[in-house]
Structure 1
Amino acid sequence: MDILILGGTRFVGRHIVEAFVAAGHRVTVLTRGQTDAELPAGVERLTGDRDEGPAGLAALGARRWDACVDVSGYQPRQVRASTHALRDRVGQYVFVSTVSVYAEPGREVVRETDPLLPPCPDEAAPVTGDTYGPLKVACEALVEAAFPGAATILRPQIVAGPEDYTRRTLYWPERAARAGAGETPVLAPGDGQDFVQVIDARDLARLTVRLTGARRPGIFNVAGPRLSWADFLGLLGAAEVRWASVADLEAVGAGPQEFPLFIPRGSAQGGLMAVDAAAALAAGLVLTDPAVTAADTLAWSRNAGLLPLLTPAREAEVLAALEARGQEPEAPGLP
């Protein structure tokens, strides 16, 4: 197939490009040209910016593709420009959205039929924590309206794996590795019974190829295995963990948001760690072992030059504050 990918040089988009090439398809990427990524040989690069409207898509000319995969559509004005330009020139439009579109993220389990947030009324609203979900809701509606019966909406969980420049999923494998080198214990929020759930970017990419090849329309949550935090840190090899309740952390000025990936069960966002991916699994999603995802991400990070989101100094400061307060967290053994 001839595939057009909007985006494709960073993290999720890059993995999607590589998966299509590995499957033998011809790939064209349209980007703003701001990331000088090494892509597989034979990938055609076009430069354009949907923020400029139709003029920003001039590089597409009058060409046709079998499918378009939109990895970089965050604002309705961007998606409006591309869906209008490609409506009669691609057979399928695959849009990478997010589980953040759901209106009731605290419910367990989150399914595709759950209610969505109201769409953002401002097409040019900046992408923030508050607008991200509503903007994606508006983008999804544009795609489905422009491509009835030929729209594929992917709603991935937090995405993990090599090339993850966000560092969210990298922190814990790195921290466990430092613990293995003698830097112990690992400070972790909760009591080990909350949950963590991510999706390997490569699994998302391979599913994208499968659904595109099958011309499969529909909406798909894309999520990996749901693990307790005790099991998660155990598979990373963190032998000694110091657990601290949310209340204790907040008492020493350390909010749970300082700990990457952590969303307390029962909180307003807790359901986002309980995402049902049954439809995607039935459609061919194959999941990588979380231990493999962690190991591969850690191996990639060694040459990435990324700083940890929670620095060793900050972790030590929080531990010291907990101990000084006389509420040193318990250290139950991992299963």
Structure 2
Amino acid sequence: MIDRRQWLQLAGAAAAAWVVPGLVAAAMPKPAPPAKRLRILILGGTGFTGPHQVRYALERGHTLTLFNRGRKTREWPGDVEQLQGDRNTGDLAALKDREWDVCIDNPTTLPFWARDAGQLLKGKVGHYIFISTISVYAANDTADADESDALAQYTGPDAMRETQDSVRANMALYGALKARSEAEVRHWFGDTATVIRPGLIVGPGDETDRFTYWPARIARGGEVLAPGSGEDPVQFIDARDLAEWTIRMAEQRAFGTFNATGPATMLRMRGMLEGIRGALKSDAQFIWAAADFLEAQNVSPWGDMPAWIPAEGDSAGFARRSNKKALAKGLDFRPLSATAVDTLGWFKAQPEERQAKLRAGISPEREKELLALWKSRA
């Protein structure tokens, strides 16, 4: 755990980063140059983590090819080959008769996407890295469970016929279909496959606001409704840390399955919120409301109170996934202060209409109502 003195030191660095972008990141240890320049194919590449992968890979001297639908245009700090197709319709023609050292598969949720890529790229790439999710696990009731934990099982009629619409309609399919996609990747690429299972991905560019809510709310100051006792653990990973480590895993040719979530040591909800407050130099005052009170008021964990789930019962291990394997392979994390400052800076740069309504958390009006109820009850 980080004490108050260390937080104040980090907050000073974060405040400087607000004025001089990248200062906090530059203070992180810089990995040794790669032993070999790689030809990297990224499936996707223009979403949340993909652009961070592209920029970091270019910085490391690698040659990049992106394959996607071409719906998002990006400016890159170097030459990037762009191939266009649509995996949802089976249009992978642009990948035929090509070879790469590494393929990084970012967007796959549906097993038939993994199957189609495997059929086409088997023998054409030396290393296949599949970005999965920590949601593949069948249960979350055990603290410190590792990558060998049982996976969710698909029980529908045909996993290969599931669509993005069916996942949107029933999010319970998400973890099971990701698990089936992992199985497809292993079927086609065997021992040359790497499966990375991120936890909650946060940071600049996150359009879900599942972490952004807290820097945005704490920056406003005043009394802030905070969930539980503050002792529940939380886990997340900055998209930049995930992206950069993925590229380094390609450089290492590190195969296997890895939980990619952080931080390196346990962080509790109180430590996260106080860390954000220190980084932003806010006068926010946290009013901790008991979990049973929030439940009675229909305030949901994760959605209304982002990043938080009570560490009890079926969710006792939800934010306690073991990341020891990933740490041993060099996964590291920038300070929470850097993530908080950079996330808020990104959010404040968005159009006013985007800032007007956060996509996670509760409204100011609802928070005020709940604070009054909690104080009255107490």
What is the TM-score normalised by the length of structure 1? Answer: 0.91
1:331 counterpart residue number? none
Take 2:76 and 2:171, find their aligned partners in 1: how far apart are those partners? 30
Number of residue pairs matched by the alignment? 320
Residue range with higher mean Cα deviation, 117-126 or 42-51 = 117-126
Higher RCO (C-alpha 8 Å, min separation 6): 2
CA contact (8 A) 2:232 2:269 kept: yes
Report the AA paired with residue 287 of structure 1.
F
Report the AA paired with residue 222 of structure 1.
A
1:3 counterpart residue number? 40
CA contact (8 A) 1:2 1:25 kept: yes
Report the AA paired with residue 177 of structure 2.
L
Take 2:75 and 2:364, find their aligned partners in 1: how far apart are those partners? 32
Structure 1 gap segments, 5+ residues each:
329-335
2:276 counterpart residue number? 236
Residue range with higher mean Cα deviation, 282-291 or 307-316 = 307-316
In the alignment, which of 157, 167, 172 is matched to residue 209 of structure 2? 167
* 1:148 to partner: Cα distance: 1.3
1:291 counterpart residue number? 337
Q: Does 1:43 align with 2:95?
A: no
CA contact (8 A) 2:129 2:196 kept: yes
Matches within 5 A, 1:34-73: 34-53=71-90, 56-73=91-108
In the alignment, which of 253, 258, 279 is matched to residue 325 of structure 2? 279
| Secondary structure, counterpart of 1:44 in structure 2 | strand
1:246 counterpart residue number? 291
Matches within 5 A, 1:194-273: 194-225=232-263, 226-237=266-277, 239-256=284-301, 257-273=303-319
Structure 2 gap segments, 5+ residues each:
1-37
Deviation sequence 1:290-323 (CA, Å, 0-9, x none): 1211111111111124332222122123223434
CA contact (8 A) 2:199 2:235 kept: yes
1:80 counterpart residue number? 115
Take 1:209 and 1:50, find their aligned partners in 2: how far apart are those partners? 23
* 1:115 to partner: Cα distance: 1.0
Take 1:7 and 1:155, find their aligned partners in 2: how far apart are those partners? 17
| Secondary structure, counterpart of 2:331 in structure 1 | coil
2:194 counterpart residue number? 152
CA contact (8 A) 1:10 1:37 kept: no
In angstroms, what is the RMSD of aligned CA positions? 1.6
Take 1:166 and 1:40, find their aligned partners in 2: how far apart are those partners? 26
CA contact (8 A) 1:248 1:327 kept: no
CA contact (8 A) 2:276 2:336 kept: no
Take 2:100 and 2:319, find their aligned partners in 1: how far apart are those partners? 36
In the alignment, which of 23, 26, 30 is matched to residue 60 of structure 2? 23
CA contact (8 A) 2:96 2:120 kept: no
Take 2:369 and 2:69, find their aligned partners in 1: how far apart are those partners? 42
* 1:247 to partner: Cα distance: 1.4
| Secondary structure, counterpart of 2:89 in structure 1 | helix
CA contact (8 A) 1:76 1:138 kept: yes
2:140 counterpart residue number? 105
Take 1:102 and 1:253, find their aligned partners in 2: how far apart are those partners? 26
Take 1:65 and 1:25, find their aligned partners in 2: how far apart are those partners? 11
* 1:279 to partner: Cα distance: 0.8
* 1:267 to partner: Cα distance: 4.0
| Secondary structure, counterpart of 1:284 in structure 2 | coil
Deviation sequence 1:89-147 (CA, Å, 0-9, x none): 11110000011111121211131111111146422142242011001100000101101
Take 2:369 and 2:289, find their aligned partners in 1: how far apart are those partners? 14
What is the TM-score normalised by the length of structure 2? Answer: 0.81
1:117 counterpart residue number? 152
CA contact (8 A) 2:145 2:317 kept: yes
Take 2:145 and 2:341, find their aligned partners in 1: how far apart are those partners? 28
Report the AA paired with residue 109 of structure 1.
D
In the alignment, which of 124, 130, 146 is matched to residue 89 of structure 1? 124
CA contact (8 A) 2:130 2:185 kept: yes
Take 2:205 and 2:134, find their aligned partners in 1: how far apart are those partners? 21
Take 1:89 and 1:166, find their aligned partners in 2: how far apart are those partners? 35
CA contact (8 A) 1:252 1:322 kept: no
* 1:174 to partner: Cα distance: 1.1
Residue range with higher mean Cα deviation, 114-123 or 93-102 = 114-123
Deviation sequence 1:185-244 (CA, Å, 0-9, x none): 010110111111101111111111111112111001111123111111111116410111
CA contact (8 A) 2:311 2:318 kept: no
2:70 counterpart residue number? 33
